[in-house]
Structure 1
């Protein structure tokens, strides 16, 4: 459920409001034409600077929304900090002093003074960290605004120029405490004295952001209303009982309320109302002069509701309503609200000793990914958010956790999560590292002092209240959390759980911190999360960890083309498994070692060979992680959240796709391992399992197990009909003895499949096992596959690629399909593959679908396919 940006209406109203024409209603963003200058070069005060007649000389174009560093980069005044060691060439604010990154931002805009009781509002959705604001010679904020996350608004009606030509001037100050980026988690930790992001001083997956992300980093908008302004609407839905995605639905309850502000000096009478599914819900309201009141509308019983479900369980149905306030003379204000009808419940599972999640009465096994933010320099866009969240859906995940060292994510992120069915676990802005959980010699102050961070508790509490109001209407928002691996200080924690959430959002479970016992009772001790590096697959399958693990992950280096994007040619060196065996640029970009895991495929000859073999390991690691946790669903575990699934910077760890939105094999190993209905093999003991994460009972399903040697000759191990119950794991038999015999000399492939009654494959999983010495000796001698590949345009934004492998030959193993610009020879990004790193059995074919808006925007597209035993081929698209 979420508030959408108001649509622009002309004089006829365009019928957005279903009752009366709306008088002078619109909202637009001030996102271009900004100019900026360093504070040292501005010799006048804000009152003079904001006068439209004041001439700007020597100012440069500014990026708003954006940070100071973004503007400097776009004006070619600093090198790209994401490439190579460039970040070392940019002055750090800790060394330069704060004035170096303190800037004035100026924007001229046209807006006429409204007639009658019309009002004009100026909204800021995010400034880091402090700012003073001036319009047409008048200072709007009596005291400097602080708080990265705290929205602020100003009624600028009386200050608008008579001729409609206006100027906005904003001076933005960096965080009060910028912190020493000394290599620690959050540097020396003092960055957490502010109410803002902590990662900007550096972490184990990122280098410091040199300006600490100072700037007008989120949207600035102008809004026009009548006398009464609708603020902070809230939509709550109740879905009683246990529901199914299909079939007739019992009614649901929709509850709506909003705050109304009368901006005039006289009382106003009117009606707050909305229409939904043929029902009109309204309440008459009298507002005192300059008064504000919160109005609760009568509940609506919504018949035959279309429900919203997490990905993999059902569709993501969304409703739209127009909430409006109308006087006799017309409509003063409209908020368009899009929301999903769903109810999230949680229970304590006493068998696993962890939190269990249910949606619409049905328990959901949580398969999640940890998220930092879309871009480390806060260069956000709706399109990038959509692509990143879609990748998470494509991984067969159903939850994203927003890590507490970053931010409360933007409405556009939540729009995408609503669309793709991602539940969201939203941390507030704390971390165990900076906020004192552990002894840390890199921190400037002791644990007792750090435990009291931030300096301004009231600002933190005020910011939490504001962000709850901004995000509480999203169907995808499932949980609030006090912080990463630590609770906020006692007074802040009490305010959140005893005051803010009960009054502002009492519909979601609140975790005190990310690995709290109320999420996962950690009988094993430790911090309740990890490990974070490469593991034997037996660990994921056989070693019991925390029953709802909030952070567990592995390696994640991209392929050769990904590496080329940010590693200079001179540094394209394969890491060696020895001390000091990593190039300085790889080390700077936080490489996690693969140790000797690649050697079983043959010691990498060069960096390209390293990157290709790393993808085999990536695929196996994340398939094993998701399968291992799923195999113990409801017995050992109620959920798992991967650390982490994306990078906002060019880091060489914890990513299913790189910063440039190019997926690697981690994504597709995770996609296979997390399939809603899935058959899988424990690689250590050969046991075969099915896992069913759906609510459906599957009958007459054929379980088919076939072994293949390196020549492509198949041997059926078993084929048996089975029935698979909803929300269960079932264990069948072990094929270990047979595989050990067949693969002793050269290794063996195992095809594990589920077929429906029409013999259509509904789940397909191919494993490759080493020989008796633990090496993939047979893979290293495989004959070349002789496939036929056809690429065909299926739609304006879709291409199908058919890979056919003739009988009597080897498996066409581990093939990467790419969409490439024929002129630049570079991949077209972002596009989405329904599967990738695919293997094709002898006598069979695989169909890979490529989709995305980038397809229709590039007229030079061709398809390339390369694999373990397939030299790269380029295919023209028919």
Structure 2
């Protein structure tokens, strides 16, 4: 112990400033190749004039740069996308651009300088100070590239980097098919950019230096691609004293010098240090360090099951009392296993020995034009946490998600199901008259299979250390070709990971046995809420969907005023609504009264949204471990201003879908089965819950309550329990106008653990009572609790009717515009007569000048000052 302490003291005194890493993310300029009559050797010379070159967005795409320079209109607004030239019509040269960056750097002594690209779409030639950097053309969107530029740096320290970026060789015809004519998939790029049923084509197909460009400086050797594996055997309980866990660490080390380098390779975690004496020859070496047994580790759990404890882990290479290079990671200690459930005939997910009922959402990409940020990733993933979900599936027609996305999933406890870059639509699963080539040809996309395997190896290394990464998947609704699939299964993943389940494709029988026919996923459209309870679907459904139109404030952001009319789907909808992929709501809107205008439609749509997604997750949870081991909603977000499949809009404004899903996905949840009115409780937690009181009340449209029943009982861990029916009681009530049903779950201290309010239609299936309900006056106060937190109190007087379906919004008091993103612990809330409700809002807005807007179905819109 004394020796270890002495070693740590010595290491603490070392020169640890050897490694430097910074991004080249400002000061880029660009120009179309049609306007530049010079080659890369000339352009990368600092004497070459860049007059009239345009400021460039890097990381970013050509289209992002054009938009930021006001050369094109916002393609997310109205029909503006039609005003932008499409690469299929212009030819690739139109979107082929030079990108130039001047920067200061030089190397002295043993220093080595590395230029790193984390993503270029699609091909690139790279020049520095009048010399070519990459001897071979860079190709492939999903692939990092690192170059040792030490000998190419200017002796003055003033350097010029020039990169010419070429679009995908086959941008495809955006003919309205899924992925257009399919040929976009001939290259290793994003398929959705040729258009899909939730997005219009991205005109430049995301050509550009789309991900980070980094300079790294080391002293001699370069530590690369560390690999950390955590083993947590046995069945664990959160917040208990834990048996030991095992930490396994290996790293790749590159030595670009001509001589072997000897030293100590070590890593530190939780105050422990593990080290190994190594000699690195003039080559690329993988070093496995000794295992560490960590006593009483703090474990990482999925959202809803426990905390997301994370550990910093530092890796250093020390030689001659100097740190030559180091890497810093953040890891979660957990173990993920998969065990086939013979009863449901589907895979069951286990974390730290505990079975997890998967409540997931499908994710496309954060922004269709690749405008990523840490803050946006954090907000989007937090919304998924707020929905009480525990998994996000990354759809195969986009990207392998960025480390910043995984950082947010690590933080918030979202398991990740990561597809590789294949889709049934482009890659030939079905006959499709919209596709240019036949199924046999498409089945072999992309054309360059060795490039795909190289990219998969690289991208696995990029994200494999994240606690949240749980599953790999060969592709969306189809496997890769055999000469790609087999190396993934039998070589790449066992060699580079070896800890996660690999599914051949997203709806394969090994994930969820398909005994009912069809494709093994769906349905997708809006449904009768009862169907989620009554119709048995796939036992671990990778895609089950519904609707998701935003509210009026959301629609105003991208629909021009002249197009803001109530859509009528059975007649052809307005052109802008149609362009933004609207799915008809009519048969579910009409029972609330035919929409008078767009504002009336949007409010009624929120009622449908809330009811749909609450029912979806309640129905699946009701059959937990009987019919299902999980479900994954198609989909929970949009990277474009689409009018379908989203819990929040592109601008990060949540709609009622999010809060209906949040309610239905509660870890401990009281609910009513619409088929037999059975009051039911689901417990997703890992401990038994005893001394629970279930209370049910029914209210008419005037606010009169009919107390029915309350019972004490208990419910076991990870189980569902039916308590009592309301059918007989509801039949005795006069239901001609509909009623409200209020359910509450209380503990022995009479604290509310779960509450739920249903609004029931009349015998004809209409909501006549809601259409004529009297106004309720809510007393509202808002208090600032901290710089980033506001607490709102809603009080409904005893003699009022139910104050129904109230939207709370944090706003700028001058403009009235919403503060986005903002995180509400509940919204679209109803307040019963004589009761109150407290809502907590968290935000990241730097100003204190905020106010509140509240409006409801029968509550007048009002602005409230924050005290």
| CA displacement 1:577-613 (0-9 Å, x = unmatched) | 5232x10100000001113111111111111000000
1:281 and 2:274 aligned: yes
2:302 counterpart residue number: 310
For residue 246 of structure 2, the aligned residue among 250, 253, 266 is 253
For residue 101 of structure 2, the aligned residue among 89, 107, 116 is 107
1:337 and 2:329 aligned: yes
1:5 counterpart residue number: none
1:586 and 2:573 aligned: no
For residue 427 of structure 2, the aligned residue among 419, 435, 449 is 435
Cα separation, 2, equivalents of 1:66 and 1:763: 44
Cα separation, 1, equivalents of 2:513 and 2:662: 28
Q: How far off is 1:755 after superposition?
A: 0.3
| CA displacement 1:116-161 (0-9 Å, x = unmatched) | 2110000000000000001111111111100101000000101111
1:194 counterpart residue number: 187
1:155 counterpart residue number: 148
Cα contact 2:18–2:325 (8 A) shared by 1: no
Q: How far off is 1:22 after superposition?
A: 2.2
Give the 5 Å matches for 1:282-301: 282-288=275-281, 290-301=282-293
Q: How far off is 1:731 after superposition?
A: 1.2
2:227 counterpart residue number: 234
For residue 496 of structure 1, the aligned residue among 468, 488, 508 is 488
Q: How far off is 1:432 after superposition?
A: 0.2
Cα contact 1:538–1:684 (8 A) shared by 2: yes
1:354 counterpart residue number: 346
Cα contact 2:474–2:480 (8 A) shared by 1: yes
Classify the secondary structure of the residue corresponding to 1:148: coil
Cα separation, 2, equivalents of 1:212 and 1:704: 55
For residue 437 of structure 2, the aligned residue among 423, 445, 449 is 445
Q: How far off is 1:48 after superposition?
A: 1.0
1:760 and 2:760 aligned: no
Q: How far off is 1:276 after superposition?
A: 2.1
Cα separation, 2, equivalents of 1:775 and 1:125: 55
For residue 748 of structure 1, the aligned residue among 736, 739, 753 is 739
2:34 counterpart residue number: 40
For residue 380 of structure 1, the aligned residue among 352, 356, 372 is 372
2:836 counterpart residue number: 845
Classify the secondary structure of the residue corresponding to 2:89: helix
Q: How far off is 1:861 after superposition?
A: 1.2
Classify the secondary structure of the residue corresponding to 2:541: strand
Classify the secondary structure of the residue corresponding to 2:743: strand
Classify the secondary structure of the residue corresponding to 1:598: helix
1:263 and 2:256 aligned: yes
Q: How far off is 1:19 after superposition?
A: 5.8
Cα contact 1:23–1:226 (8 A) shared by 2: no
| CA displacement 1:648-695 (0-9 Å, x = unmatched) | 000000000000000000000000000000010112321121100000
Cα contact 1:740–1:772 (8 A) shared by 2: no
Classify the secondary structure of the residue corresponding to 2:376: helix
2:117 counterpart residue number: 124
For residue 410 of structure 1, the aligned residue among 402, 417, 426 is 402
Cα separation, 2, equivalents of 1:595 and 1:266: 74
Q: How far off is 1:827 after superposition?
A: 0.6
Give the 5 Å matches for 1:643-658: 643-658=634-649
1:602 counterpart residue number: 593
**TM-score, structure 1 normalization:** 0.97
Classify the secondary structure of the residue corresponding to 1:492: helix
Cα contact 2:30–2:56 (8 A) shared by 1: yes
1:529 counterpart residue number: 521
Cα contact 1:269–1:327 (8 A) shared by 2: yes
RMSD of Structure 2 on Structure 1 (CA): 1.2
Cα contact 2:668–2:681 (8 A) shared by 1: yes
1:662 counterpart residue number: 653
Cα separation, 2, equivalents of 1:585 and 1:483: 32
Cα separation, 2, equivalents of 1:19 and 1:89: 61
Cα separation, 2, equivalents of 1:37 and 1:346: 51
Cα separation, 2, equivalents of 1:17 and 1:130: 43
Please identify, of 24-33 and 277-286, the stretch whose mean Cα deviation from structure 2 is larger. Answer: 277-286
**TM-score, structure 2 normalization:** 0.98
For residue 623 of structure 2, the aligned residue among 632, 657, 660 is 632
| CA displacement 1:824-855 (0-9 Å, x = unmatched) | 1111111111100011111111011110212x
| CA displacement 1:448-493 (0-9 Å, x = unmatched) | 0000100000000000000000000000000000000000001000
Q: How far off is 1:743 after superposition?
A: 4.7
For residue 143 of structure 1, the aligned residue among 136, 146, 150 is 136
Structure 1 residues 329, 265: CA separation in 2 closer, same or farther (over 3 Å shift)? Answer: farther
For residue 795 of structure 1, the aligned residue among 776, 786, 796 is 786
1:810 counterpart residue number: 801
For residue 173 of structure 2, the aligned residue among 170, 180, 185 is 180
Cα separation, 2, equivalents of 1:400 and 1:518: 19
2:452 counterpart residue number: 460
1:50 counterpart residue number: 44
Q: Which runs of 5+ in 1 are unaligned?
A: 1-14
Cα contact 1:703–1:721 (8 A) shared by 2: yes
Please identify, of 200-209 and 276-285, the stretch whose mean Cα deviation from structure 2 is larger. Answer: 276-285
Cα separation, 2, equivalents of 1:74 and 1:740: 61
Classify the secondary structure of the residue corresponding to 1:81: coil
Cα separation, 2, equivalents of 1:722 and 1:303: 38
Q: How far off is 1:737 after superposition?
A: 2.8
Cα contact 2:18–2:323 (8 A) shared by 1: no
Give the 5 Å matches for 1:480-495: 480-495=472-487
Cα separation, 2, equivalents of 1:277 and 1:619: 44
Classify the secondary structure of the residue corresponding to 2:860: strand
Aligned residues: 860
Task: Please identify runs of 4+ aligned residues in structure 1 that moved more than 3 A.
Answer: 15-19
Structure 1 residues 16, 283: CA separation in 2 closer, same or farther (over 3 Å shift)? Answer: closer
For residue 611 of structure 2, the aligned residue among 606, 611, 620 is 620
Q: How far off is 1:58 after superposition?
A: 1.2
Classify the secondary structure of the residue corresponding to 2:522: coil
Cα contact 2:682–2:719 (8 A) shared by 1: yes
Cα separation, 1, equivalents of 2:449 and 2:507: 23
